[in-house]
Amino acid sequence: MKYDAKIELKNKVEEYSFKDVAKQANGSAWLRSGKTVILATVVIDETEMVKDDFLPLTVQYIEKSYAAGKIPGGFFKRETKPSDFETLTSRIIDRSIRPLFPKGFAHPAQVTVMVFSADKESDLQVLALNAVSAALYTSDIDINTSVCAVRAAKIDGELILNPTKSELDRSTLDLYLSGTKEDLLMIEMRTIGSDVEELIDGTMIDPMIELALETPTVTKHVSNALNEDELIDVLKDVQEVLFDTNSKYEEAFASCKKETFELNCKVDMKNDDMIVYVRDNHMQDIKEAMNQMAKSERSTALRVLRKSILVKYEDWDELALKDAIEKVKREQVRGQILNDRVRADGRSLTEVRPITIDTNVLPNAHSSCLFTRGQTQALVVLTMGGSKDAQMFETLTQEGTQNENFMVHYNFPGFSVGEPSPVMGVKRRELGHGNLAKRALEPIVDLNGDTVRLVSEILESNGSSSMATVCGGYMALRAADIETTDTVAGIAMGMVSDGDKYAILSDIMGLEDHDGDMDFKVTGSKDGITAMQMDIKLGGVSLDVLKEALYQAKEGRSHIIDIMLEAEKEIEFNDGVLPSTDIFHIDPSFIGDIIGQAGKTIRSIIEEFEVAIDIDKKDGKVKVSGKDKKGVQCAKEHIHSIINKPKVKKINYAVGEVYTGKVKKIVDFGAFIELPDGTDGLLHISKISDKRVEKVSDVLTEGEEIQVEILEFKGNKISLGRA
């Protein structure tokens, strides 16, 4: 393979070929980096133009199992439906390249990315976007701007750009940025929770001296949330690399670009006369339609207005009139925000809609939360399971099967926005929103090997149902009595700008999302951010504006958290349904006492209290799980009673000595006698009395004390006689 361009970037080298493969596509790029090989192609239909007002772009990212020397698992030995990772990667690419297409572009466009060879250390999401950008930039489509991605990690406090896969696995930060050499277009960010060792008094341990410490330690889970200033500092560094990388791409690819043809874009349907007429005669009707906050109600009101105008002006084109009404409505929404600092529903720019929270509304679920904010409502239901209930999956860059034990599944039925659409399979948007909620909540939860599944059923939607899922998901965790390291909420931010002035909006509704310039979702605690997702519609955003939006989001998030904390006080657990788990630490020297001889003691605890017990012999961590809280608590108390029982000094017994023992258990062939130091000995039926004993229970009673003599030792067993 002959490569046309070789680009040395931070921590990696990328080589591109544009002329050897997929030559019938409008554009193609063969990318090699390390041992990873990716082909990206772009094709447009030059003969067809869609009528709807949207960009008909489809992106498919496809991983081939042979790329990692694997054969697909399961019954069918070929690639089937896309994995979650493939779908999420397709979304990332789509959101990054969509702003490159000019307004009015209406030709169906298909972008296909295929991974032919996968290096275990490669970042496939970054390379996939870079390959697509190269294919677009060098194609015969008139797109002359490069877009690329940079990922950032944080290891031991140090920022690492373009980390390897193994470095990312050790990172507390996963930040994915995409943009051009001038504008930042998209951000995907999450923090990664970790376990740290600390002394019993709460002092953090220096890893360099940990082995020298003899003081008892405990493991503590931390979310590693970033505060706003820390995030802005990271974005500054990453953005510089992003802009520099795009400059290198455009310089390297310039000589490889095909001769372009002029793109046919849809003619602007807006009729100035219609716009003036609607503005002068029907502004009040449009304001009233805007007050219909639900999407279905607003659409109906605008359709009724359009039909009433067409009755008077039958010769007017209905599509042109629809566009004119839409333009006036958009002007009103944006003008009211920018000039009057008031939103369509009367709220101030920073005001959050009213919130109500009801927990455990489903009596037979492990836990549930009905979270309502304005006209957005999410029913989030939690189910707990064991390690065997984890979701198994495979990736190209990891060996063997992986397990996912924290799942967030998001469902968006049509009735939530008043549409009669059938409930089908999971769509890309649903998968993306569920993944965002998972990334928001995962850092604050330490499941200790258990499995938790959160399902968010969106019952009503008018803006930011994904953030309602985050808030409802946190409340469902607390309603299941699952410990969290902090309280996490989410808020969707928006922005309207006319170039000279701008307004940042907290808790945007659907109308503001549609007519605004930014969709910016931030999740986290009062102190830090756990996850973030941003899409820019106006071409880019400065870090100063982004910083202002982050602090405004923090204010709104804190307001929501205060409401959630009050709702936490009202939680009533679904006792009898909710499984319970308790984790505590003991001195490792007592573990043998809890397990007992041949596991006898721990088995009796498990059977008596109907629990499962896991003990880490290294650090003395004990995990007790059961079907109800009472059984778990009783088992914990029983374990503590064993630990707190005064230790009896072991006695060196000798043949012929007489001791007072307690009848511990009667069996057919005799009785087991507990000696003074807790050691058991066997009093055979033939040694109980000088006379013949037919039935041991006729002579002895469990619990009574008797005098016994040490007769002999048989290995670890002691043979006794009646004294």
Domain ranges of the chain: 5-256, 272-340, 355-568, 580-644, 658-722
Token pair in block for residue 23: 């030559």
Closest CA to 133 of 192, 72, 180, 86: 180
What parts of the chain have a pLDDT lower than 50?
Answer: 200-201, 203, 205-215
Query: SS3 string of 543-564?
Result: HHHHHHHHHHHHHHHHHHHHHH
Closest CA to 424 of 412, 434, 407: 412
- The answer to whether 615 and 568 are in contact (CB under 8 A) is no
Distance (Å) of CA 464 to CA 295, 334, 436: 13, 19, 12
Q: What is the pairing mode between strands 402-404 and 670-674? A: unpaired
- The topology under which CATH files domain 5-256 is Ribosomal Protein S5; domain 2 (3.30.230)
Closest CA to 382 of 551, 568, 573, 608: 573
**Cα angle: 234, vertex 236, 239; to 5 degrees:** 105
**Cβ contacts of 707 within 8 Å, gap of 6 or more:** 658, 659, 660, 661, 722, 723
**The dihedral of CA 482, 352, 420, 361: what is its sign?**
positive
Token pair in block for residue 26: 């409008």
- The answer to whether 547 and 532 are in contact (CB under 8 A) is no
CA dihedral defined by 111, 112, 117, 118, rounded to 10 degrees? 60
Q: What sections of 492-586 are H helices per DSSP?
A: 510-515, 543-568
Q: Which residue shows structure tokens 């079907």?
A: 627
- The topology under which CATH files domain 580-644 is Ribosomal Protein S8; Chain: A, domain 1 (3.30.1370)
Rounded to whole angstroms, the Cα distance separating 227 from 243 reads 24
355-568 and 5-256 share a CATH fold? yes
The helix, strand and coil proportions of the chain, stated in percent and rounded to the nearest 5, come to: 35, 30, 35
- Which CATH number is 355-568's, of 3.40.50.1370, 3.40.50.1820, 3.30.230.70, 3.40.50.300? 3.30.230.70
Count of positions (residues) in the chain: 723
- The answer to whether 115 and 143 are in contact (CB under 8 A) is no
- The topology under which CATH files domain 658-722 is OB fold (Dihydrolipoamide Acetyltransferase, E2P) (2.40.50)
Token pair in block for residue 645: 């029982």
Q: CB count, 10 Å around CB of 379?
A: 24
Closest CA to 462 of 212, 227, 291: 291
CA dihedral defined by 88, 94, 96, 97, rounded to 10 degrees? 160
Residue 214's pLDDT is what?
44
Please provide the distance, in angstroms rounded to a whole number, between the alpha carbons at the two ends of the chain. 94
- Which CATH number is 272-340's, of 1.10.720, 1.10.10, 3.30.2000, 2.60.120? 1.10.10
Residue 539's pLDDT is what?
63
Closest CA to 178 of 260, 55, 96, 123: 96
Residue 99's pLDDT is what?
87
Beta bridge partners of 6: 15
Closest CA to 369 of 455, 442, 434: 455
Burial degree of 3 (CB within 10 A; 0-12, 13-18, 19+):
middle
